[in-house]
A and B are shown apart, each in its own frame.
Chain A
Amino acid sequence: MKKLLTIIGFISAASVYAQGGTIIINNYTSYDFHTRVTAANLSTPGCYFYVALDNPELVISGVSSVNYNSFNIPGTYWKVATSPSPATLRPGTSPSLMLGGVISNNTKWVISQFQFYQSGTLLSTGAVGDASYTCDPVSSVINTPQAMVEWFTITSGGTTSTYLQIY
């Protein structure tokens, strides 16, 4: 019985923490917002523990929103590094990247590299992200010719929602 309770405890703890993977991107402009997002483990020194979207980039067309709960975005491939060795490419469907998977559980979203497009024409590029991420410092708010892009989190207990807003 005690074992059962312990296991249930672990499972519920895992699913609470797993919510840390939520990222919501709201594009309020009429431009197409293309982005590659990166998550990292902030408590491992050395800056090598990260998961970065390789392909395809996410496209959030004008006046639309997307939300994702982990790296398990259909059709995506991610560069994954958990040690100083070179990153390897893994599909978003690989078990370690799924919600509740070990990598998903130990990383948080940190950066968006982005481009604004209109009718297929590149207008500008930039990056925005968590200001406390020192490995690849970016600011949490950036003004581009097209729009203001802002990155913020709302954290409650072990649950973090990450928002990327394009005004």
Chain B
Amino acid sequence: MKKHFLLAVIAVLSFTSCNNEGSAVNNVESMKTPQMDNFDKAFKSLGDPQNRPTEEERKRNTSELSDRRKALLVPSSKELILSTGITEAELTRKTGGDMSQIIVWATQIYMQKSDEIRNIKSEK
């Protein structure tokens, strides 16, 4: 019985924690950390003329961002991950330097932080 209860608690926790993640990030601009700003700027820079998708990249039959353009997102992603107190060594150990893994991890941190800022705002 106790075991079942424990399982139920774990299940509920793992789902509710995820459910709260989504939703709009409007109106959080002013409270963003510098690392979040830089993360934003890196994504925006993908639209700069020299960073736009090349003819060859457009022809690929996949929607996955090319390695050339992923590389543009890595520095600010790392910066954002490190700003949470994770050490450089931990980052390397967990991602093995894999660009996609670093960017996806940073995206999750970014979304979490946006949610936190939104919550602080709604409490005021």
Contact = CB atoms under 8 A, between A and B. Distances in A.
A66 B64 contact: no
A30 to B, nearest CB: 14
A99 B64 contact: no
Interface in A113-135: 129-132
A163 B65 CA distance: 10
A67 B43 contact: no
B121 interface: no
By secondary structure, the A interface counts as mixed
Interface in A38-88: 61, 64-70, 72-74
Contacts of A129: 63
Given A4-B3, A26-B43, A100 B15 contact: yes
Contacts of A74: 23
- Point out which of B10, B25, B104, B105 has the most chain A C-beta atoms below 10 A from its C-beta: B104
Nearest to A69: B22
Nearest to A160: B104
B46 A140 contact: no
Contacts of B61: 131-132
Interface in B32-78: 40, 43-44, 46-47, 52-53, 58, 60-65, 70, 73
Nearest to B77: A154
A148 B58 CA distance: 13
Given A8-B10, A64-B26, A73-B23, A155 B100 contact: yes
A99 B107 CA distance: 17
Contacts of B21: 69, 99
B101 interface: yes
B25 A65 contact: yes
B115 to A, nearest CB: 9
Interface in B102-124: 103-105, 107-108, 111, 114
Interface of B: 3, 6-7, 10-11, 14-15, 18-19, 21-26, 40, 43-44, 46-47, 52-53, 58, 60-65, 70, 73, 98, 100-101, 103-105, 107-108, 111, 114
